[in-house]
Amino acid sequence: MKHQLVLLSLFLFFISCEKRSSKEKVTHTINKTVSKVEYKKININGVNVAYREAGNSKNPTIVLLHGFPSSSHQYRKVLNQLSNNYHLIAPDYPGFGNSDFPSAKEFDYTFDNLAATIDLFLNKLQINSYALMIQDYGAPVGFRIATVNPEKVTGIISQNGNIYEEGLGAAWKDVRALWTNRNEETEKALLPVFSLKGLEWQYTHGTRNPENINPDCWNLDYLKLSRPNAHSVNLDLFYDYQNNLKLYPKWQQYLKENQPPLLIVWGKNDAFFPESGAEAYKKDVKNIDYNIYNTGHFALEENGNEIIQKIRIFMKRIKI
């Protein structure tokens, strides 16, 4: 009997050690995947540009350029999951996120100026080699930077970042009316975009399940768009967007001449930038890692894990 009790005690001790060892392994694995994101600001020509940074600066850099109506917040999953292998920088444009919001008299709200500001931002941080991840507004900002600094760009990751006229969807109808004739009536037609309901629609339209989408996204955007003069400043950017279309041929030529490694991770149900915008890249880039997802404008919200895995594989393949 005593012999059996000793064996039982040894068995229970062994099981306890195994469980403790297993827990330690799990904790170690979790610690490897969770990293620290830092929230910083830097002054660029009198404007404090906020940015999120994660990862070792000695690793290859990915610059994450956000869209409307969001901020660097839209890249929170990328920052958390990829920072062990890559250096990640996600700035907020002036007037967005946690960056300064100067008045239209103090800052020219055009895509030329947003891109110039972010280019200066990268230069000031001495970031001279990087892949660009672009989404929505990130495309006109990113391609302006790429065409000025082709030698610095190691690759492009486009998540519904359009540079083709055939990639402009039906949701541009009211903005096109603004381009044709900017007046009180055409501006008023766009005001629902800034409402809480309108912002929620941008995140949930085209998704497989709206309950997959974190409501913090549109609530944070609504908070920023509720500031005085926020509507008029963003209407200025809506109006200026027509100048991006004039530069599409230049950006397409950049692709043809430089053939940067290109990863497409596109939500096909995007009312602003449907799949035709992704398909159009095939005209100009020979080798594309092409991935289409059954989701909407902010594909990272619903397909973040799959997209991040694609980014990881893509970054391993490109030459730094």
- Identified catalytic residue from 66, 73, 205, 297: 297
Find the domain containing 115 and state its range: 35-169+243-317
Residue 10: CB atoms within 10 A of its CB come to 10
pLDDT at 320: 62
Among 77, 277, 296, which Cα is nearest to 158's? 277
**Rg of the chain in Å (alpha carbons):** 23
Task: Read off the pTM.
Answer: 0.89
Is 183 domain-assigned? no
Residues 75-118 have pLDDT tens digits of 999 999 999 999 999 999 999 999 999 999 999 999 999 999 99
Does residue 101 form part of some domain?
yes
β-pairing verdict for 47-54 and 87-91: antiparallel
- 213 is a domain residue: no
Residue 149 lies in a domain: yes
Flag whether 14 is in a domain: no
Per residue in 219-244, pLDDT tens?
A: 999 999 999 999 999 999 999 999 99
Does 106 map to a domain? yes
Whether omega for the bond prior to residue 274 falls within 30 degrees of 0, making it cis, is: no
**Residue 257 in domain:** yes
Cβ within 8 Å of residue 119, ≥6 positions away: 144, 145, 148, 149
Predicted confidence (pLDDT) at residue 13 exceeds the cutoff of 90: no
Q: Specify the CATH number for the domain of residue 101.
A: 3.40.50.1820
The whole-number pLDDT of residue 7 equals 42
Number of domains in the chain: 1
Tell me whether residue 297 is one of the annotated catalytic residues.
yes
